[in-house]
Protein backbone atom coordinates (compact mmCIF):
# COMPACT_ATOMS: atom_id res chain seq x y z
CA UNK A 1 0.00 0.00 0.00
CA UNK A 2 1.33 3.43 -0.95
CA UNK A 3 1.84 5.82 1.96
CA UNK A 4 0.11 9.10 1.23
CA UNK A 5 0.48 12.15 3.46
CA UNK A 6 -1.64 15.23 2.82
CA UNK A 7 0.42 18.00 4.40
CA UNK A 8 -0.73 21.44 5.50
CA UNK A 9 2.10 23.83 4.53
CA UNK A 10 0.96 26.79 6.59
CA UNK A 11 1.37 30.29 5.16
CA UNK A 12 4.76 29.71 3.53
CA UNK A 13 7.99 27.73 3.87
CA UNK A 14 8.64 29.75 7.05
CA UNK A 15 5.60 28.28 8.79
CA UNK A 16 5.97 24.58 7.92
CA UNK A 17 5.96 22.37 11.01
CA UNK A 18 8.84 20.03 11.86
CA UNK A 19 6.60 16.99 11.41
CA UNK A 20 5.64 18.17 7.91
CA UNK A 21 9.29 18.75 6.94
CA UNK A 22 10.29 15.26 8.07
CA UNK A 23 7.58 13.65 5.93
CA UNK A 24 8.48 15.85 2.95
CA UNK A 25 12.13 14.81 3.21
CA UNK A 26 11.11 11.14 3.39
CA UNK A 27 8.74 11.36 0.41
CA UNK A 28 9.67 9.88 -2.97
CA UNK A 29 7.58 12.45 -4.86
CA UNK A 30 5.83 15.75 -4.11
CA UNK A 31 2.48 16.85 -5.50
CA UNK A 32 0.98 20.32 -5.11
CA UNK A 33 0.44 23.78 -6.51
CA UNK A 34 3.41 25.41 -8.20
CA UNK A 35 3.82 28.02 -5.46
CA UNK A 36 4.20 25.34 -2.79
CA UNK A 37 6.56 23.22 -4.88
CA UNK A 38 8.79 26.22 -5.61
CA UNK A 39 9.40 26.70 -1.87
CA UNK A 40 10.87 23.18 -1.78
CA UNK A 41 12.76 23.18 -5.06
CA UNK A 42 16.06 22.96 -3.16
CA UNK A 43 15.23 19.32 -2.30
CA UNK A 44 15.46 18.33 -5.99
CA UNK A 45 12.66 15.79 -5.57
CA UNK A 46 10.43 14.61 -8.43
CA UNK A 47 7.47 17.01 -8.31
CA UNK A 48 4.07 17.25 -9.98
CA UNK A 49 2.31 20.60 -10.33
CA UNK A 50 -1.30 19.67 -9.62
CA UNK A 51 -4.02 20.68 -7.15
CA UNK A 52 -7.08 18.97 -8.69
CA UNK A 53 -8.19 15.83 -6.85
CA UNK A 54 -8.84 13.71 -9.96
CA UNK A 55 -5.50 14.65 -11.51
CA UNK A 56 -3.68 13.84 -8.27
CA UNK A 57 -5.44 10.45 -8.11
CA UNK A 58 -4.21 9.65 -11.65
CA UNK A 59 -0.64 10.62 -10.74
CA UNK A 60 -0.71 8.37 -7.68
CA UNK A 61 -2.17 5.46 -9.64
CA UNK A 62 0.55 5.64 -12.30
CA UNK A 63 3.59 6.30 -10.09
CA UNK A 64 5.84 3.60 -8.65
CA UNK A 65 6.67 5.83 -5.65
CA UNK A 66 5.79 4.30 -2.28
CA UNK A 67 5.87 7.50 -0.19
CA UNK A 68 3.90 10.43 -1.56
CA UNK A 69 3.52 13.93 -0.07
CA UNK A 70 0.59 16.03 -1.26
CA UNK A 71 1.06 19.68 -0.32
CA UNK A 72 -1.88 21.97 0.47
CA UNK A 73 -1.76 25.55 1.72
CA UNK A 74 -2.68 26.55 5.27
CA UNK A 75 -4.19 23.86 7.48
CA UNK A 76 -5.84 20.67 6.21
CA UNK A 77 -8.98 21.31 8.27
CA UNK A 78 -9.83 24.89 7.27
CA UNK A 79 -11.43 25.39 3.83
CA UNK A 80 -8.71 23.15 2.43
CA UNK A 81 -8.33 21.05 -0.71
CA UNK A 82 -7.58 18.22 1.72
CA UNK A 83 -11.29 17.59 2.31
CA UNK A 84 -11.96 16.53 -1.28
CA UNK A 85 -8.62 14.73 -1.52
CA UNK A 86 -9.47 12.51 1.45
CA UNK A 87 -12.68 11.41 -0.26
CA UNK A 88 -11.04 10.91 -3.67
CA UNK A 89 -8.09 8.95 -2.23
CA UNK A 90 -9.98 7.03 0.46
CA UNK A 91 -8.82 3.64 -0.86
CA UNK A 92 -5.25 4.64 0.12
CA UNK A 93 -6.30 5.78 3.63
CA UNK A 94 -4.28 9.02 3.47
CA UNK A 95 -2.80 10.66 6.58
CA UNK A 96 -3.61 14.29 7.36
CA UNK A 97 -0.78 16.45 8.71
CA UNK A 98 -1.99 19.68 10.26
CA UNK A 99 -0.43 23.00 9.33
CA UNK A 100 -0.60 26.57 10.59
CA UNK A 101 -3.84 28.09 9.34
CA UNK A 102 -4.33 31.68 8.25
CA UNK A 103 -6.67 31.97 11.25
CA UNK A 104 -4.14 31.26 13.98
CA UNK A 105 -1.36 33.05 12.09
CA UNK A 106 -3.30 36.28 11.51
CA UNK A 107 -4.91 36.48 14.95
CA UNK A 108 -1.43 36.10 16.47
CA UNK A 109 -0.07 38.85 14.22
CA UNK A 110 -2.89 41.13 15.41
CA UNK A 111 -2.41 40.16 19.09
CA UNK A 112 -6.01 38.98 19.30
CA UNK A 113 -7.66 35.82 20.72
CA UNK A 114 -9.61 33.65 18.33
CA UNK A 115 -11.15 30.93 20.52
CA UNK A 116 -14.66 32.42 20.16
CA UNK A 117 -14.29 33.92 16.68
CA UNK A 118 -16.68 33.08 13.85
CA UNK A 119 -14.75 31.64 10.89
CA UNK A 120 -16.29 32.13 7.43
CA UNK A 121 -15.26 32.07 3.79
CA UNK A 122 -16.50 34.74 1.40
CA UNK A 123 -14.35 33.38 -1.43
CA UNK A 124 -16.73 31.94 -4.01
CA UNK A 125 -19.21 31.00 -1.28
CA UNK A 126 -22.57 32.64 -0.51
CA UNK A 127 -22.21 33.46 3.17
CA UNK A 128 -24.04 35.65 5.70
CA UNK A 129 -21.21 38.01 6.65
CA UNK A 130 -23.56 40.59 8.20
CA UNK A 131 -25.22 37.98 10.41
CA UNK A 132 -21.80 36.68 11.45
CA UNK A 133 -20.63 40.17 12.40
CA UNK A 134 -23.89 40.89 14.24
CA UNK A 135 -23.57 37.77 16.39
CA UNK A 136 -19.84 37.67 17.14
CA UNK A 137 -17.17 39.86 18.72
CA UNK A 138 -14.64 38.72 16.11
CA UNK A 139 -15.37 37.46 12.60
CA UNK A 140 -12.56 36.03 10.48
CA UNK A 141 -13.25 36.02 6.73
CA UNK A 142 -11.38 34.51 3.80
CA UNK A 143 -11.91 36.74 0.75
CA UNK A 144 -11.16 36.96 -2.95
CA UNK A 145 -11.30 40.10 -5.05
CA UNK A 146 -14.60 41.03 -3.41
CA UNK A 147 -13.52 43.18 -0.44
CA UNK A 148 -15.19 46.39 -1.71
CA UNK A 149 -18.47 44.47 -2.14
CA UNK A 150 -18.18 43.04 1.38
CA UNK A 151 -17.55 46.55 2.69
CA UNK A 152 -20.63 47.92 0.94
CA UNK A 153 -22.77 45.09 2.32
CA UNK A 154 -21.62 45.74 5.89
CA UNK A 155 -22.11 49.51 5.51
CA UNK A 156 -25.65 48.97 4.17
CA UNK A 157 -26.60 47.08 7.33
CA UNK A 158 -25.10 49.62 9.73
CA UNK A 159 -21.60 48.26 10.42
CA UNK A 160 -19.52 50.87 8.60
CA UNK A 161 -17.81 52.17 11.74
CA UNK A 162 -16.51 48.82 12.98
CA UNK A 163 -12.77 48.16 13.07
CA UNK A 164 -11.29 45.66 10.63
CA UNK A 165 -7.80 44.17 10.37
CA UNK A 166 -6.65 43.39 6.83
CA UNK A 167 -3.99 40.74 6.10
CA UNK A 168 -2.59 40.53 2.58
CA UNK A 169 -0.31 37.78 1.24
CA UNK A 170 0.28 36.35 4.72
CA UNK A 171 3.58 34.59 5.24
CA UNK A 172 5.14 35.82 2.02
CA UNK A 173 7.66 38.60 1.34
CA UNK A 174 4.70 40.73 0.21
CA UNK A 175 2.87 40.33 3.54
CA UNK A 176 1.11 43.52 4.58
CA UNK A 177 -1.11 43.95 7.64
CA UNK A 178 -3.21 47.06 8.26
CA UNK A 179 -6.34 48.17 10.09
CA UNK A 180 -9.11 50.63 9.29
CA UNK A 181 -12.86 51.10 9.53
CA UNK A 182 -15.24 49.02 7.42
CA UNK A 183 -16.27 52.17 5.54
CA UNK A 184 -12.67 52.55 4.29
CA UNK A 185 -12.60 49.13 2.59
CA UNK A 186 -14.49 50.38 -0.47
CA UNK A 187 -11.86 52.94 -1.47
CA UNK A 188 -8.79 50.68 -1.62
CA UNK A 189 -7.47 47.78 -3.69
CA UNK A 190 -6.34 44.58 -2.02
CA UNK A 191 -4.53 41.41 -2.99
CA UNK A 192 -6.65 38.42 -3.99
CA UNK A 193 -4.99 36.61 -1.05
CA UNK A 194 -6.49 38.72 1.71
CA UNK A 195 -8.17 37.86 5.01
CA UNK A 196 -10.15 40.06 7.38
CA UNK A 197 -10.81 40.20 11.11
CA UNK A 198 -13.85 42.31 11.98
CA UNK A 199 -14.40 43.40 15.57
CA UNK A 200 -17.89 44.11 16.90
CA UNK A 201 -17.68 45.05 20.60
CA UNK A 202 -21.49 45.36 20.74
CA UNK A 203 -22.23 41.97 19.19
CA UNK A 204 -25.63 40.40 19.91
CA UNK A 205 -25.80 36.60 19.69
CA UNK A 206 -29.40 36.27 20.91
CA UNK A 207 -32.03 34.39 18.89
CA UNK A 208 -34.78 36.86 19.65
CA UNK A 209 -38.31 35.46 19.76
CA UNK A 210 -41.20 37.77 20.64
CA UNK A 211 -39.71 41.10 19.60
CA UNK A 212 -41.83 44.02 20.72
CA UNK A 213 -44.20 45.27 18.02
CA UNK A 214 -42.90 48.80 18.60
CA UNK A 215 -39.42 47.84 17.37
CA UNK A 216 -40.59 47.25 13.80
CA UNK A 217 -40.84 49.94 11.15
CA UNK A 218 -44.53 49.89 10.30
CA UNK A 219 -46.86 51.33 7.71
CA UNK A 220 -50.40 50.39 6.73
CA UNK A 221 -49.41 46.80 5.96
CA UNK A 222 -50.68 43.99 8.27
CA UNK A 223 -48.29 42.61 10.87
CA UNK A 224 -48.29 39.41 12.93
CA UNK A 225 -48.28 40.62 16.55
CA UNK A 226 -45.84 39.61 19.27
CA UNK A 227 -47.85 36.95 21.12
CA UNK A 228 -49.11 35.20 17.99
CA UNK A 229 -45.69 35.46 16.39
CA UNK A 230 -44.08 33.78 19.39
CA UNK A 231 -46.41 30.76 19.13
CA UNK A 232 -45.80 30.54 15.37
CA UNK A 233 -42.02 30.64 15.83
CA UNK A 234 -42.23 27.93 18.47
CA UNK A 235 -44.10 25.67 16.05
CA UNK A 236 -41.72 26.47 13.17
CA UNK A 237 -38.76 25.35 15.32
CA UNK A 238 -36.17 26.87 12.99
CA UNK A 239 -32.57 25.64 13.02
CA UNK A 240 -29.57 27.92 12.33
CA UNK A 241 -28.93 26.58 8.82
CA UNK A 242 -32.55 26.20 7.68
CA UNK A 243 -34.04 27.56 4.46
CA UNK A 244 -37.31 29.26 5.45
CA UNK A 245 -40.19 30.80 3.46
CA UNK A 246 -42.57 33.50 4.69
CA UNK A 247 -45.51 33.73 2.28
CA UNK A 248 -47.62 36.85 2.68
CA UNK A 249 -44.92 38.47 4.79
CA UNK A 250 -46.61 41.85 5.35
CA UNK A 251 -44.45 44.13 7.47
CA UNK A 252 -42.03 41.24 7.97
CA UNK A 253 -42.16 40.67 11.73
CA UNK A 254 -42.15 36.87 11.28
CA UNK A 255 -39.50 37.15 8.56
CA UNK A 256 -37.21 39.07 10.90
CA UNK A 257 -37.47 36.46 13.66
CA UNK A 258 -36.96 33.72 11.07
CA UNK A 259 -33.81 35.48 9.88
CA UNK A 260 -32.47 35.85 13.41
CA UNK A 261 -33.05 32.13 14.03
CA UNK A 262 -31.71 30.90 10.66
CA UNK A 263 -28.51 32.95 10.97
CA UNK A 264 -26.46 30.44 8.95
CA UNK A 265 -29.33 29.79 6.52
CA UNK A 266 -31.59 31.86 4.28
CA UNK A 267 -35.10 33.30 4.48
CA UNK A 268 -37.20 34.09 1.42
CA UNK A 269 -40.12 36.43 2.05
CA UNK A 270 -42.96 36.93 -0.45
CA UNK A 271 -45.75 39.46 -0.75
CA UNK A 272 -47.80 40.78 -3.66
CA UNK A 273 -47.78 44.27 -2.08
CA UNK A 274 -44.75 46.40 -3.00
CA UNK A 275 -45.22 48.52 0.14
CA UNK A 276 -44.85 45.38 2.26
CA UNK A 277 -41.62 44.45 0.48
CA UNK A 278 -40.28 47.95 1.05
CA UNK A 279 -41.09 47.82 4.77
CA UNK A 280 -39.49 44.39 5.10
CA UNK A 281 -36.27 45.61 3.49
CA UNK A 282 -36.15 48.55 5.90
CA UNK A 283 -36.65 46.20 8.86
CA UNK A 284 -33.90 43.90 7.59
CA UNK A 285 -31.48 46.81 7.61
CA UNK A 286 -32.60 47.85 11.09
CA UNK A 287 -32.09 44.35 12.52
CA UNK A 288 -28.81 43.75 10.57
CA UNK A 289 -30.13 40.82 8.52
CA UNK A 290 -28.39 39.98 5.25
CA UNK A 291 -29.81 36.45 5.03
CA UNK A 292 -33.28 37.58 3.89
CA UNK A 293 -34.37 37.97 0.27
CA UNK A 294 -37.63 39.84 -0.33
CA UNK A 295 -39.62 38.94 -3.45
CA UNK A 296 -42.69 40.79 -4.72
CA UNK A 297 -45.15 38.44 -6.36
CA UNK A 298 -48.06 36.05 -6.00
CA UNK A 299 -47.49 32.53 -4.70
CA UNK A 300 -47.00 29.86 -5.91
CA UNK A 301 -45.68 31.42 -9.14
CA UNK A 302 -43.07 33.52 -7.30
CA UNK A 303 -41.71 30.45 -5.48
CA UNK A 304 -40.16 28.91 -8.58
CA UNK A 305 -36.40 28.26 -8.98
CA UNK A 306 -35.46 28.99 -5.37
CA UNK A 307 -33.64 26.88 -2.75
CA UNK A 308 -35.90 24.19 -1.30
CA UNK A 309 -37.30 25.20 2.11
CA UNK A 310 -37.21 23.26 5.38
CA UNK A 311 -39.95 25.36 6.98
CA UNK A 312 -42.70 27.63 5.69
CA UNK A 313 -44.97 30.18 7.32
CA UNK A 314 -48.09 31.18 5.41
CA UNK A 315 -49.64 34.37 6.70
CA UNK A 316 -51.58 35.10 3.53
CA UNK A 317 -52.37 33.01 0.45
CA UNK A 318 -54.66 35.29 -1.62
CA UNK A 319 -56.99 32.34 -2.10
CA UNK A 320 -54.26 30.04 -3.45
CA UNK A 321 -53.80 27.84 -0.37
CA UNK A 322 -54.24 24.50 -2.19
CA UNK A 323 -51.84 25.47 -4.98
CA UNK A 324 -49.22 26.77 -2.53
CA UNK A 325 -49.36 23.77 -0.21
CA UNK A 326 -49.27 21.27 -3.08
CA UNK A 327 -46.35 23.00 -4.77
CA UNK A 328 -44.31 23.16 -1.57
CA UNK A 329 -45.03 19.56 -0.59
CA UNK A 330 -44.02 18.54 -4.11
CA UNK A 331 -40.50 19.93 -3.66
CA UNK A 332 -40.07 18.79 -0.03
CA UNK A 333 -42.32 16.14 1.49
CA UNK A 334 -40.70 16.66 4.92
CA UNK A 335 -41.59 20.35 5.05
CA UNK A 336 -42.85 21.93 8.30
CA UNK A 337 -45.93 24.12 7.74
CA UNK A 338 -47.31 26.84 9.98
CA UNK A 339 -50.36 28.74 8.70
CA UNK A 340 -52.38 31.52 10.32
CA UNK A 341 -56.00 32.42 9.65
CA UNK A 342 -58.40 34.99 11.06
CA UNK A 343 -61.66 33.39 9.85
CA UNK A 344 -63.09 29.92 10.49
CA UNK A 345 -63.44 29.36 6.74
CA UNK A 346 -59.76 30.11 6.04
CA UNK A 347 -58.68 27.95 8.98
CA UNK A 348 -60.69 25.02 7.58
CA UNK A 349 -59.25 25.68 4.11
CA UNK A 350 -55.74 25.40 5.57
CA UNK A 351 -56.58 22.17 7.38
CA UNK A 352 -58.12 20.70 4.22
CA UNK A 353 -55.10 21.71 2.14
CA UNK A 354 -52.78 19.89 4.53
CA UNK A 355 -55.13 16.89 4.66
CA UNK A 356 -55.06 16.66 0.86
CA UNK A 357 -51.31 15.92 1.00
CA UNK A 358 -51.67 13.44 3.86
CA UNK A 359 -50.96 15.70 6.85
CA UNK A 360 -53.32 15.79 9.82
CA UNK A 361 -52.76 19.40 10.81
CA UNK A 362 -52.97 20.63 14.37
CA UNK A 363 -55.12 23.69 15.00
CA UNK A 364 -55.02 26.01 17.98
CA UNK A 365 -56.66 29.33 18.63
CA UNK A 366 -54.74 32.16 20.23
CA UNK A 367 -56.87 34.84 21.87
CA UNK A 368 -54.82 37.66 23.42
CA UNK A 369 -56.04 40.42 25.69
CA UNK A 370 -53.61 43.20 26.51
CA UNK A 371 -53.82 45.43 29.53
CA UNK A 372 -54.62 49.10 29.04
CA UNK A 373 -54.38 51.66 31.81
CA UNK A 374 -57.53 53.70 32.41
CA UNK A 375 -56.90 56.21 35.15
CA UNK A 376 -55.64 54.24 38.16
CA UNK A 377 -57.11 51.00 36.84
CA UNK A 378 -56.18 48.44 34.21
CA UNK A 379 -58.60 47.04 31.66
CA UNK A 380 -58.01 44.09 29.34
CA UNK A 381 -58.58 44.89 25.66
CA UNK A 382 -59.21 41.87 23.46
CA UNK A 383 -57.45 41.41 20.13
CA UNK A 384 -58.89 39.36 17.28
CA UNK A 385 -58.52 35.59 17.87
CA UNK A 386 -56.08 33.91 15.48
CA UNK A 387 -56.12 30.29 14.28
CA UNK A 388 -52.68 28.66 13.97
CA UNK A 389 -52.55 25.51 11.86
CA UNK A 390 -49.36 23.45 11.78
CA UNK A 391 -48.11 20.13 10.46
CA UNK A 392 -45.06 18.33 9.13
CA UNK A 393 -44.84 16.16 6.04
CA UNK A 394 -43.54 12.59 5.81
CA UNK A 395 -44.30 11.88 9.45
CA UNK A 396 -46.15 8.60 10.12
CA UNK A 397 -48.00 10.25 12.99
CA UNK A 398 -49.45 12.79 10.57
CA UNK A 399 -50.57 10.43 7.84
CA UNK A 400 -54.16 9.19 7.61
7, 99 in Cβ contact below 8 A? yes
Please count the other Cβ atoms lying within 10 Å of the Cβ belonging to residue 322: 16
In sequence order, the β-bridge partners of residue 3 are 67
Alpha carbon of residue 162 to chain centroid = 21
The rounded distance, in Å, linking the Cα atoms of 170 and 109 is 10
SS3 content of the chain, % helix, strand, coil (to 5): 35, 25, 40
288 conformational bin, left if phi > 0, alpha if psi -120 to 50, beta if neither: left
366, 388 in Cβ contact below 8 A? yes
The rounded distance, in Å, linking the Cα atoms of 69 and 217 is 58
- Residues in contact with 329: Cβ distance below 8 Å, sequence separation at least 6, in sequence order: 335, 357, 393
100, 21 in Cβ contact below 8 A? no
Angle at 44 between CA 41 and CA 48, to 5 degrees: 70
29, 92 in Cβ contact below 8 A? no
Q: What is the DSSP string of 34-101?
A: HHHHHTTGGG---EEE---HHHHHHHHHH---SEEEEEESB-TTSS-THHHHHHHTGGG-PEEE----
Positive or negative torsion for Cα 62, 65, 67, 68:
negative
For the annotated binding site for S-adenosyl-L-methionine, the residues are: 224, 248-252, 271, 299
For the annotated binding site, the residues are: 224, 248-252, 271, 299
Amino acid sequence: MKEINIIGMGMSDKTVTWEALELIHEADILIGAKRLLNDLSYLNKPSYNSYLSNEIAEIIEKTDASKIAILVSGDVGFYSAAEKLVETLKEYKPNLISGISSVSYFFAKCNLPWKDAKLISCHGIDTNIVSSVRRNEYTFALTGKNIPDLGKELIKFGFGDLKVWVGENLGSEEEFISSCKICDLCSKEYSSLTVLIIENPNFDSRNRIGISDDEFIRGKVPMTKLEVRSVCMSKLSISPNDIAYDIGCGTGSVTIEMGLSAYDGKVFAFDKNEEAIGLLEQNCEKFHLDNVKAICGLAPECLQDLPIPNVVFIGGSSGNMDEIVNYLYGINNKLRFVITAVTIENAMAALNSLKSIGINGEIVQVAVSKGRKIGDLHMLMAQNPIFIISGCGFDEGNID
